[in-house]
A = this chain, B = another copy of it.
Amino acid sequence: MSTTTETMDQYLQANLDGYIQEAARLCAQPSISMQHEDAAKCAELVAATLAEHGLDVQTFPTPANPIVVGRASGRSPRTLLFYNHYDVQPVDPLHLWTSPPFEPTVRDGALYARGAKDDKGELVARLAAVDAVRAAHGGELPCGVTFVVEGEEEIGSPHIARFVQEHLDLLASHGAIWEEGQINSDGQPLLSLGRRGILYVQLEAQTLTRDAHSGGASTLPNAAWRLLWALASLRDPQGRILIPGFYDLARPPSARDLAIFAAQPSEEARQREELGVREFVGGLSGEALKSAVFNPTCNIAGLTAGFQGPGMKTVIPARASAKVDFRLVPDQDPEDILAKLRAHLDAQGFEDVQVTRLGAMWPERTDPDDPLVALTVETGREVYGKDSLLTPLTGGSSPVYAFARPLGIPVVSPGVGYPGSRTHSPDEHVRLDHFLLASQHMARILDRFAGLDWCP
């Protein structure tokens, strides 16, 4: 181990208690996303905290909770960006918490509080890494750092994409550390290299001005049937999406991706057991199941029509609606898919079926061979003694795209979590040993980032 690394590790070990206290101070300030007064107070506390770590802080208002940015320059013009958030999930059901969610408590080697892991613990572990790198480099940083800490991650980050677009110079950087990361139950760091995009729409059919008695069903059109035919036109039972042009921009997995999938354990048996799956979509199994995340989806997230209570009501629903989410793979574009969906419905004679766009995120990927990925894996191996488990593409969506696409940077996600973190649940916590390892991992990445051999 180099002297620098040794110094950083010792620094973090020696100061662990202080950083846990710092995380606890942030957790003691409630900041549920929709409680805007609390969130504003937490933004102030975050700004003060970033300043205490030697960052130049600016706070940007949004229509809801402010975004806090803290920056420091380094010897190299390269900059590493950290995205985190200070808002937290609601705390219900309160009675399931062993200690109150906003009274941070250390017990059994872990800090318990809402936000201890997600995302205040992550933030402080990264600030600790900044301090450790400075301590090992005579107070300087080898590269610049930019912390972006927003307050609406838990409600879908409605303002972050625009913020990035409007502050491209401020946020210009060469790589990013995403807000959260974890190890799996074998102690392997997990490393997702991309997330799918999403187009979330509501489809609505209306066939009558009001519900009618079902005695009239021989003649009166039923909105539930109408919606059903429209939905049936979108996707076949094997999962193939029938909208013309839907797959035009969808890139299949590369040979490298398939090799990564092949090295992963199969989820098949576990999912059959835990979720009671009798048959996977399209009869998938084996290797095809592992790489199926590259198949974009059309998912009915909800259906509503007519009478839904117990017993009988004989009614022709006048209105019916469905929530539908399309998960998109690189390089599909939700706006393009929305236009194709509308065109398809029109072409099929469903001009009357309304489509309302409820949300959109773009897909993004980081090249598995990007030097930042290699650095994250290599330093992860040093700290955890394990190879990272790479995922070429994750099924879900996140605002990673909001940074990765306009800034043109690779994004990795090391962090303090583990499968028992109880994120979003009662008794959320971060283990102190995991906090230390994550900060040591992060310090190594920051220490070596400027020296990476790449072509930016």
Q: Please report A residues at the B interface, Cβ cutoff 8 Å.
A: 156, 196, 198, 200, 207-210, 212-222, 224-225, 228-229, 231-232, 235, 237, 239, 271, 274-281, 284, 289, 292-297, 299-308, 311-317, 320, 322-323, 325, 327, 352, 358-359, 394-397
Tell me the smallest distance from the CB of A397 to a CB of chain B, in Å. Answer: 7
Do A271 and B219 form a contact, CB below 8 Å, given A225-B237, A312-B156? yes
Distance between Cα atoms of A312 and B327 in the complex (Å): 14
Q: Is the CB of B304 within 8 A of A303?
A: yes
Instruction: Provide the residues of chain B in CB contact with A208, threshold 8 Å.
Output: 275-277
Q: Given A156-B312, A284-B219, A302-B305, A210–B275 Cβ distance below 8 Å?
A: yes
Closest to A226 in B: B237
How long is the Cα–Cα vector from A278 to B308 in the complex, in angstroms?
26
Known: A277-B221, A395-B213. A301 touches B297 (CB 8 A): no
Q: Are the CB atoms of B275 and A312 closer together than 8 Å?
A: no
Contact check, B217 vs A277: say whether CB atoms are below 8 A apart: no
A295 to chain B: which residues have CB within 8 Å? 218
Q: Are A228 and B300 in contact (CB under 8 A)?
A: yes
**Mind listing 25 A-B residue pairs with CB under 8 Å?**
A200-B314, A208-B277, A209-B276, A213-B396, A214-B297, A214-B325, A215-B327, A215-B395, A217-B327, A217-B395, A218-B239, A218-B281, A218-B292, A219-B280, A219-B281, A220-B271, A300-B306, A301-B316, A302-B307, A302-B317, A303-B304, A306-B323, A308-B323, A311-B358, A313-B323
CA–CA, A228 to B306, complex, Å? 15
Q: What's the Cα separation between A300 and B307 when bound, in Å?
A: 9
Q: Which residues of B contact A221 (CB under 8 A)?
A: 277-281
Asked whether A352 and B277 contact (CB < 8 A) given A292-B219, A307-B323, A311-B358, the answer is: no
Output the residue of A200, A293, A295, A304 with the most chain B CB within 10 A. Answer: A304
Among B228, B278, B293, which residue has its beta carbon within 8 angstroms of that of A232? B228
* Contact present for B280 and A352 (CB under 8 Å): no
A309 to chain B, nearest CB (A): 8
Contact between B303 and A303, CB atoms less than 8 A apart: yes
Query: Which of B215, B225, B293, B314 is within 8 Å of A394, CB to CB?
Result: B215
Expressed in whole angstroms, the minimum distance between the Cβ of A186 and any Cβ of chain B is: 21
Contact A214 B299 (CB under 8 A): yes
Whether B198 pairs with A314 at a CB distance below 8 angstroms is yes
Provide the bound-state CA to CA distance between A68 and B436, in Å.
81
User: In the complex, which of the residues B222, B281, B294 contacts A300, with contact meaning CB atoms closer than 8 Å?
Assistant: B222
Residue among B218, B237, B305, B396 making CB contact with A297, cutoff 8 Å: B218
Q: Complex Cα distance A289/B216, Å? A: 11
Q: Which of A207, A317, A395, A396 has the most CB of B within 10 A?
A: A395
Contact check, A323 vs B327: say whether CB atoms are below 8 A apart: no
B303 touching A306, Cβ below 8 Å: yes
Cα distance, A306 to B295, chains bound together (Å):
22
A289 vs B352: C-alpha distance when bound (angstroms): 23
Contacts of A293 in B (CB 8 A): 218
8 cross-chain pairs, A with B, having the tightest CB-CB distances, nearest first: A215-B395, A215-B396, A302-B306, A224-B300, A217-B297, A209-B276, A302-B307, A217-B299
- Chain B residues positioned under 8 Å from A228 (CB to CB): 228, 231-232, 300
A216–B395 touching, CB < 8 Å: yes
A305 and B314 form a contact (CB under 8 A): no
Asked if residues A325 and B314 are in contact (CB atoms below 8 Å), the reply is yes
Give chain B residues whose Cβ lies under 8 Å from the Cβ of A305.
300, 302-303
Return A91 CB to nearest CB of chain B, in Å.
Answer: 19
